[in-house]
């Protein structure tokens, strides 16, 4: 299929869409850009009548809070930024409430922390709530719960949160709206000859280098975080489109397969929902260094991790925790749930499986990490 046919293929069949609206789109110099929000909501209303469901991941709370509290810029301190976000949430939701009412739709707010998506029971509870709202034709508006999130538990930015929501919601498409036209081969704000990339088949190191690192004044992300989000969505089998939310009629252009923005194609082999949860939602508590033979058996042979292939163990993790697996280059290539604690693995590393009971005084499993609890990261 050519580029246009691929766009038609992926965009026309997308019925459940995660739409991330960034600070660069939603904010003006004095707070929220209400006329633009009303225009985008109007487009969502028209597209929703075509049997599409939209889940919004929205920035803007800090911008709204700054306006409400009379601040000219985002506070530098974490407690101050969290307090400003708390003040701005009500303003942001009221703006959405009024705008969606104009197109006959209701909204609901969902605030999440990384903990909510890492805990499997809470993940499933959040999914059930989301599905119930969609069944009622209510538009969920999701944001990170900044008031209680800590650096260790933050998603980092709403781009990555949106990618995780795709898996939570069983979405068909991720759309990231920003203030530039898509991914360029170099930063268009610094290079006049920068060329827009209309389609990306795989996210290589060259693609990652092409992403600029400069976020907006009120936002946390940048093009780098959007590439990360597209990579995560691709692992779930979803295409991602990055486009300019300031362009009039942008959503209608997207869903009529016009050549706007940058379309990132999904991976050929998608992770299951549980594999995705393990790969991207769970925070590893340590790492295991394996020898080249073990790495080959894991990656190419789809085998479980056994004790003879373990060279070293890092961290103080417990049985059942998630850990990274690293090769000789020191880079994580997989993540898995371990059957033994760090202390126990330190005692059995390099030993044959039949020696585990002798070393530990017990043996619950032959495998240190079973294949069913292991995810190999996509290359690129």
Q: Domain of residue 341: give its range.
A: 284-376
The reply to whether 152 and 187 lie within a common domain is yes
Which of 376, 346, 374 is closest to 359 using CA atoms?
A: 346
The reply to whether 183 and 70 lie within a common domain is yes
What pLDDT is attached to residue 28?
A: 79
Give the CATH number, domain containing residue 147: 3.40.1160.10
Listed residues 218, 244, 275: the one ending a domain: 275
The reply to whether 291 and 267 lie within a common domain is no
The reply to whether 213 and 341 lie within a common domain is no
The reply to whether 306 and 266 lie within a common domain is no
What pLDDT is attached to residue 151?
A: 56
The residue with tokens 């089998």 is 237
The reply to whether 76 and 144 lie within a common domain is yes
The reply to whether 266 and 289 lie within a common domain is no
Distances (CA, A) of 375 to 25, 54, 127, 320, 332: 35, 29, 22, 15, 11
Per-residue pLDDT of the chain (380 residues; tens, 9 = 90+): 677 788 888 888 889 999 999 888 888 777 788 899 999 999 999 999 888 999 999 988 888 888 888 887 777 777 888 888 888 888 889 999 999 999 999 999 999 888 888 888 898 999 999 999 999 999 999 988 877 765 544 556 789 899 999 989 999 999 999 988 888 887 777 778 888 888 888 877 777 776 765 444 434 447 888 998 999 999 888 999 999 999 999 999 999 888 899 999 988 778 888 888 888 888 899 999 999 999 999 999 999 999 999 999 999 999 999 999 999 888 999 999 999 999 999 999 999 988 898 888 888 899 999 999 999 987 64
Exposure letters 66-91 (e unless 16+ CB within 10 A, then b): bbeeeeeebbeeeeebbbbbbbbbeb
The reply to whether 185 and 79 lie within a common domain is yes
> How many domains, the chain?
2
The first and second tokens of residue 344, run together, are 């126990």
Listed residues 275, 299, 318: the one ending a domain: 275
What pLDDT is attached to residue 270?
A: 81
Residues 89, 91, 97, 103, CA torsion sign: negative
Listed residues 247, 275, 303: the one ending a domain: 275
What pLDDT is attached to residue 1?
A: 65
The reply to whether 243 and 136 lie within a common domain is yes
What pLDDT is attached to residue 54?
A: 96
In the three-class reduction of DSSP (H, G, I as helix; E, B as strand; rest coil), residue 291 is classed as: coil
Q: Residue 195: how many CB atoms within 10 A of its CB?
A: 11
What pLDDT is attached to residue 63?
A: 81
Give the CATH number, domain containing residue 289: 2.30.130.10
The reply to whether 313 and 260 lie within a common domain is no
CA 216/CA 296 separation, integer angstroms:
42
In the three-class reduction of DSSP (H, G, I as helix; E, B as strand; rest coil), residue 317 is classed as: coil
The reply to whether 236 and 345 lie within a common domain is no
The reply to whether 10 and 95 lie within a common domain is yes
What pLDDT is attached to residue 155?
A: 55
């Amino acid at each position: 299929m050519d580029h246009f046919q691929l766009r038609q293929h992926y965009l026309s069949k997308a019925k459940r869409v995660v739409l991330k609206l960034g600070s660069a789109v939603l904010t003006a110099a004095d707070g929220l850009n209400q006329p633009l929000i009303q225009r985008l909501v109007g487009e969502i209303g028209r597209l929703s009548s075509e049997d599409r469901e939209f889940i919004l991941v929205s920035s803007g709370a800090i911008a709204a809070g700054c306006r409400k509290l009379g601040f000219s810029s985002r506070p530098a301190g974490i407690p101050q930024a969290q307090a400003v976000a708390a003040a701005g949430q009500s303003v942001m939701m009221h703006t959405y409430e009024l705008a969606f009412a104009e197109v006959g739709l209701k909204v609901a707010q969902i605030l999440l922390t990384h903990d909510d998506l890492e805990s499997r029971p809470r993940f499933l509870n959040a999914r059930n709530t989301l599905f119930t709202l969609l069944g009622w034709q209510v538009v969920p508006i999701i944001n990170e719960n900044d008031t209680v999130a800590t650096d260790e538990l933050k998603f980092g930015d709403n781009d990555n949160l949106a990618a995780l929501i795709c898996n939570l919601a069983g979405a068909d498409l991720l759309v990231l709206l920003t203030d530039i036209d898509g991914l360029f081969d170099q930063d268009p704000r610094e290079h006049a000859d920068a060329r827009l990339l209309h389609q990306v088949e795989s996210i290589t190191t060259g693609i990652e280098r092409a992403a600029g690192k400069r976020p907006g004044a009120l936002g946390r992300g940048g093009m780098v975080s959007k590439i990360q989000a597209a990579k995560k969505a691709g692992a779930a089998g979803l295409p991602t489109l990055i486009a300019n939310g300031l362009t009039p009629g942008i959503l209608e252009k997207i869903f009529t397969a016009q050549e706007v923005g940058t379309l990132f194609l999904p991976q050929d082999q998608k992770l299951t929902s549980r594999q995705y949860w393990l790969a991207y939602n769970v925070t590893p508590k340590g790492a295991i260094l394996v020898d080249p033979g073990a790495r080959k058996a894991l990656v190419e042979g789809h085998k479980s991790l056994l004790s003879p292939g373990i060279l070293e163990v890092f961290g103080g993790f417990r049985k059942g925790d998630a850990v990274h697996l690293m090769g000789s280059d020191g880079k994580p290539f997989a993540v898995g749930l371990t059957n033994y604690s760090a202390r126990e693995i330190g005692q059995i590393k390099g030993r044959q499986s039949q020696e585990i009971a002798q070393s530990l005084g017990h043996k619950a499993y032959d495998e240190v990490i079973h294949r069913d609890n292991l995810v190999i990261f996509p290359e690129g």
